[in-house]
Amino acid sequence: MERFERELKRGTLEMVLLHLLRQGPSYGYEMVARLRAGSTDFELKEGTLYPVLYRLESAGWIEPEWRHRERGVPRKYYRLTPEGEERSRELVAAWRSFSSSVDELLGEVAVDSE
């Protein structure tokens, strides 16, 4: 079950992060806080966020920007590029179509144990 959940998270994390950034630029810690606030089920080991962000950056879907804080070192924010915006829409549409198909199948297929 743990493996299944891990695979689900791995498969949807890109979509979730891009969708999060559609609401505005954000930085690593804030993204995790927003994920936690949005859903208790989507738990993420916070250190594993950054490799995914780097991949999204090399794909050209997000880009970093540095913002100065009142005190301390500048903070690195990420924002969606126009290509990232497009990619986010595609992924969400694909997910909605896929998940409704799965829901239909689960509704139609009788399972003995149920």
Of 47-55, 83-91, 92-100, 105-113, which part binds another protein (CB under 8 A)?
A: 47-55
Of 16-24, 52-60, 86-94, 104-112, which part binds another protein (CB under 8 A)?
A: 52-60
User: DSSP 3-state assignment of 26?
Assistant: strand
Residues from 2 through 31 that contact another protein (CB under 8 A): 28-29
Contact residues for another protein (CB under 8 A)? 28-29, 45-48, 50-52, 54-55, 73, 75-76
